[in-house]
A and B are shown apart, each in its own frame.
Chain A
Amino acid sequence: MAAEPRPKRPIRWHIAVFLAPAVLVYTAIMILPLAGTLQLSLFRNIEQSQVFVGLSNFRMLFGDPNWSVNFWNALRNNVWFFIIHMLVQNPIGVLLAALLSSPRLRFAAFYRTAIFVPTILSFVIVGFAWKLILSPIWGVAPHLMDFVGLKSFFTPWLGKEQYALTALSLVSVWQFVGIPMMLIYAALLSIPDEVIEAAECDGVTGMAQFWKIKLPLILPSIGIISILTFVGNFNAFDLIYTAQGALAGPNYSTDILGTFLYRAFFGFQLQVGDPNMGAAIATMMFLIILGGVCVYLFLVQTRLRRYQF
């Protein structure tokens, strides 16, 4: 008896069909522009036509002091911007989440909402509001500080080279502290009561409980927050632009990669935009972010222990 031919496996069209919308949309709005940017960075406009020049734009970006000084300055500022977020925003976020998850806290929902609200505000509003708050002429900051006898500590922070970037970083922290808070809060809530109860049976309570039990359990969330902060900070632009303008004054002290890219790509005032150099800077930003994310994925995330409940 001849073996019946095995029924041919039908081609599973449905997989392609169901994937298609997401793939198409993502390709059209993310992958193609990204490829376009990379391509643009390898060309240069010579006599009104795009000419392939290989890596010469990058050579100019790093070799010509007119570009490289600005680039390294922007990168340095961006790193500082990131450090402030990591040192201030995320610890405060964890602290707030820990406080909010405390069962004895009253009005927790109100605090949660109030702290999260700035996150959904537009950058323009945040930048403008803080510019006014810190204004030495009409701002409330000098008056409030006068009230508590600290007037002598007031300086026009946004106008001083040594303070402007830190001040803006803190404004950004103020705006975004709600995101780590919410994520950590959710992580803390998801810790099962049994684990906490077991810890209590073993006599681990209070601060020790937080450090020894809860913190290890929320570490993966903190990792995710760090990487979100990293990507967000190295893509930042709006706050600096609304508060300090495209020249990121004073004396380029608040210039980050985003504003540097903007000036190069679109130009500013009499400066004519140079899309090719802009694309080269955008490519560098992409590589920096890609590098950071890879470091996190391969070195950090694989070592984080996960607990299944």
Chain B
Amino acid sequence: MKTKLLTALLLGTSILATTGMALAEDVTLNIESWRGDDLTIWKDKLIPAFEAKNPGIKVVFAPSAPTEYDAALGAKLAAGSAGDLITCRPFDKSLELFKKGNLADLTSLPGMDNFSPVAKAAWQTDDGKSSFCVPMASVIHGFIYNKDAFDKLGLKVPTTVDEFYAVLDKIKADGTYIPMAMGTKDLWEAATMGYQNIGPNYWKGEEGRQALIKGEQKLTDADWVAPYKELAKWKPYLGDGFEAQTYPDSQNLFTLGRAAIYPAGSWEIGLFNTQAQFKMGAFPPPVQKAGDTCYISDHTDIGMGLNAASKHPEEAKKFLSWVASPDFATIYANALPGFFSLNSTPVKMEDPLAQEFVSWRGKCKSTIRSTYQILSRGTPNLENETWVESANVINGTDTPEAAAKKLQDGLDSWYKPAK
């Protein structure tokens, strides 16, 4: 309600402010989005930057609540009252809109070649031939650590798995800090911050993910079980009662300085910067042996597409090309540290922690979360099962092998990879 009122007010003021100078032929583009939090960034930074370069086009950012977004957007599209530009959820939700003909094909949009195939994968048909949304941002997984704690204990940032456990052992032996802030109560921490965080190093990122989709690899293969074996070893380093520790508990344990290492997603940066009173650093998931290629989960999270029923497709495409440009990427990535532009052109960012995260793109290979594309379409749902099993492995309820077998059996029951 509050956001709606705010939106209405802002809409009102923007109309009042522009009526004076707007020319009759001005075109207004509306953006549908669930990111109400970003309203000020769009209004104060992004839209003025675009409008300055493109006179005659006005852009209005009109978000709805995240939980209502999909339903509201569906209803508006059906009624023909949806905005010209549509913020895209990754994978199946947007793919469904494209299949229904609600999203226009953007394969040939100028600027689309600024993105790597991995970045575009979230908004492509399964065969990869048509793209329908411009990738906007991704989140990167890694570990955030308490720099003060590391300095105090004389610890070096670990790069290999052995060093990683050596560091954890030292923190545990010292006893001042909980070695790692993670709980299994909410399940998804174990899966997202655990399994999907360290996993790519074992299944070799895209190579393993694609092979899984093609059916050439199975979740019971050594490369896919290995991350579970690592997770099982994490148990002694988690805080007391981690079985009932929730996600906000973990965040608080770390920002209050009670834990030394936090298995993270880069979206935490904004919050941690405002809450933590100590210096922070970050390191990518450690590799098995020094010199191994490292892989990171650089998960595509948000994109923007064109409403196929838009009355101003040319102007909207102009805007989308701008969204695909490095200009947009720079403003966006700096305004929202932790949400990284997917643009191939490196973006200069001010936030040191965000810089650290994004620097891994240069030395590591990027992939996305293994369960998101195609593999979570059936019942049982692979993503949900991964949550449950990852927590089971850390809790010791299931062995890594048993967990992997359950996941593969569930997947086999409905997924038949194209041969």
Contacts and interface: CB of A to CB of B under 8 A. Distances in A.
Interface string A250-290: 11100000000001000011111010000000000000000
Contacts of B377: 272
B399 to A, nearest CB: 13
Contacts of B382: 270
Given A160-B243, A245-B186, A135 B388 contact: no
Contact of A157 (B244, B397, B398): B244
Nearest to B239: A137
B383 A250 contact: no
Interface string B374-392: 0011011111100110011
Contact of B391 (A251, A268, A272): A251
5 contacts: A134-B244, A160-B243, A161-B395, A270-B92, A270-B376
Contact of A159 (B242, B379, B398): B242
B388 A156 contact: no
B244 to A, nearest CB: 3
A64 B409 CA distance: 13
A139 to B, nearest CB: 9
Contacts of B355: none
Contact of A252 (B188, B379, B388): B388
Interface string B254-276: 00000000000000000000000
Contacts of A66: 379-380, 410, 413-414
Given A66-B380, A137-B249, A159-B184, A251 B241 contact: no
B387 A250 contact: no
Interface in A192-227: none
Contact of B383 (A161, A244, A271): A271
Contact of A251 (B246, B380, B388, B413): B388
B91 to A, nearest CB: 8
Nearest to A246: B384
A159 B244 CA distance: 4
Nearest to B382: A270
B410 to A, nearest CB: 7
B245 A270 contact: no
Interface in A127-150: 131, 134-138, 142
Which of A67, A268, A271 gathers most chain B CB within 10 Å?
A271
Interface in A152-176: 155-161
B245 A249 contact: no
Chain B: number of interface residues, binned into ranges? 35 or more
Contacts of A250: 184-185, 187, 243, 388, 391-392, 395, 397
Contacts of B243: 156, 158-160, 250
Interface of B: 91-92, 183-188, 239-246, 249, 253, 371-372, 376-377, 379-384, 387-388, 391-392, 395, 397-398, 410, 413-414
Given A247-B384, A270-B384, A135 B244 contact: yes
Given A269-B383, A271-B381, A137 B392 contact: no
Which of B186, B377, B379, B383 gathers most chain A CB within 10 Å?
B379
B92 A138 contact: no
Contacts of B376: 270-271
B241 A137 contact: yes
A159 B245 contact: yes
Interface of A: 64-67, 131, 134-138, 142, 155-161, 244-245, 247, 249-252, 263, 268-272, 274
A67 B379 contact: yes
Nearest to A134: B244
A142 B372 CA distance: 39
Contacts of B183: 159
B380 A158 contact: no
Given A157-B244, A251-B397, 9 more contacts: A66-B414, A159-B183, A159-B242, A159-B395, A250-B184, A250-B397, A263-B384, A270-B376, A271-B376
A297 B377 CA distance: 44
Given A159-B244, A247-B187, A249-B388, A135 B383 contact: no
B392 A270 contact: no
A65 B242 CA distance: 31
B249 A271 contact: no
A159 B384 contact: no
Given A136-B244, A136-B245, A156-B243, A249 B187 contact: yes
B27 to A, nearest CB: 34
B215 to A, nearest CB: 19
A161 to B, nearest CB: 6
Given A136-B240, A249-B391, A271-B376, A159 B381 contact: no
Contacts of B253: 137
A157 B388 CA distance: 17
B402 to A, nearest CB: 12
Contacts of A134: 244
Contact of B244 (A65, A158, A271): A158
A64 B410 CA distance: 11
Ranked 4 nearest A-B pairs via Cβ: A136-B241, A159-B243, A156-B244, A159-B244
A42 to B, nearest CB: 19
A270 B249 contact: no
Contacts of A157: 244
A245 B246 CA distance: 11
Contacts of A137: 239-241, 245, 249, 253
Contact of B387 (A65, A67, A161, A247): A247
B384 A271 contact: yes
Contacts of B398: 251
Contacts of B245: 135-137, 156, 159
B288 to A, nearest CB: 29
Given A159-B244, A249-B388, A138 B383 contact: no
Contacts of B387: 247, 269
A45 to B, nearest CB: 13
